[in-house]
Amino acid sequence: MTQHLLGTTGAREGAVGFLTDTTLCIGCKACEVACKQWNQLPADGLELLGRSYDNTGDLGATTWRHVAFVEQISDSQGRRPSDLKAFQSNWLMLSDVCKHCVNAGCMEACPTGAIIRTEFDTVLIQPDICNGCGYCVPACPFGVPDFNHHDGRVFKCTLCYDRLVDNLEPACAKACPTDSIRFGPIQDLMERAVERVESLKAQGVEGARIYGDRALGGTGGMDGLNALFVLTAPPEVYNLPATPRLPQRQTFRAFASTLAFALGLGLAAAIALRGER
């Protein structure tokens, strides 16, 4: 059904973004560190989460890259398998980031116009406008924008807007030692992703897929993501939604049903309240 949408995106001409190829990620977290350094983000404290090598936990107001570690070594009963696939020893790593959606839920929700689409077609929260209403936080289908309770505003990845204007690639892509994170025009990145998935499948990685095209990840009115991923397992394994929807597609319908109901309720009220002059 969604076959014809595979590898397609509604990204506008000249849009730039990321391609994060999880098959090349070695879990070094250089992207996390480079992001923190360039954007001068404070540390989140030292906590051991017991989630493999992931002690970062989640994308947040002060964490704009997050490397997820999935150990698919035991089966569902916790038994160690006798034969492991050679590929990646079934240890999956993914450097998660803001998806800079082609149609972004956070941006449509923002009541102050603080969230804008930049000249690079990235999604940016202007910190001098944001008043911390927090509506973009639940409006993101990927859980990216986060409320900073010390600061009172919401923050997320800027796709290093301040580097892009100086013709530099984002800090995470620059720091990635295996080029698992690539930066460039979306059309080029999508071509590369399609080739990569084909090549992986030819090598026997049947689960290889693109996340962020109009078939997977960039669904439901979002028309594609400007941060693409190459995955080797279902997106849920990496804590990504398979077919998320743009929340604001509901707005008009929801208002229409509310209005229709209001008319009925008004009529009922008139009947209940009517009386003689």
Partner 1 sequence: MKSYYGAPLIHKPHWQWLIIVYFFLGGLSSACYVIASIARLVGGQAGRPITRVGHYMALLTLIPSPVLLILDLGRPERFLNMLRVIKLRSPMSLGTWGLIVYGGFVTLSAAIQAAEDGLLHRFGWLARLLRALPAATLGALGTLPGFFVGGYTGVLLAATAVPLWAKNALLLGPLFLASALSSGAATITLVLALARGTSGATLRRLERLDVLALLCEFALLAAAYRNLGPIIGRPLRRGKQARLLRWGVLALGIALPLALQIKSFWPYAQISRLGALLASSLALLGGFALRYTIVMAGRNSADDPEATFVFTQKSE
Among 114, 181, 210, 231, binds partner 1 (CB under 8 A): 114
Are the CB atoms for 214 and 59 separated by under 8 Å? Answer: no
Q: Show the DSSP H helices in the chain as ranges.
A: 30-38, 105-109, 136-139, 161-164, 171-175, 186-202, 251-273
Mode of pairing for the β-strands spanning 153-155 and 146-148: antiparallel
Residue at 201: amino acid letter? K
CA 159, CA 132: separation in Å to the nearest integer? Answer: 21
Residue 214, amino acid: R
Q: Note whether 146 binds partner 1 by CB under 8 A.
A: yes
Q: Which of 111, 177, 204, 207 binds partner 1 (CB under 8 A)?
A: 111
Task: Considering only CA atoms, give the Rg of the chain.
Answer: 22
Q: Is 90 in the site for partner 1 (CB under 8 A)?
A: no
- For position 144 contacting partner 1 by CB under 8 A, the verdict is yes
Total binding residues toward partner 1, as defined by CB under 8 A: 77
Measured from the CB atom, is 148 or 187 closer to partner 1?
148
Q: Which of 28, 72, 68, 17 is nearest to 189 (CA)?
A: 17
Q: Stretches 25-33, 152-160, 180-188, 204-212: which one binds partner 1 (CB under 8 A)?
A: 152-160
Q: Which stretch binds partner 1 (CB under 8 A): 130-138, 173-181, 183-191, 224-232?
A: 130-138
The residue among 143 and 185 lying less far from partner 1, judged by its C-beta, is: 143
Kindly write out the interface string for residues 229-248 of this chain, putting x where it contacts partner 1 by CB under 8 A and - elsewhere.
Answer: -------xxxxxxxxxx-xx
| Region 7-36 residues binding partner 1, contact defined as CB under 8 A | none
| Least Cβ distance, residue 206 to partner 1 (angstroms) | 17
Phi, psi of 251 (to 5 degrees): -55, -50
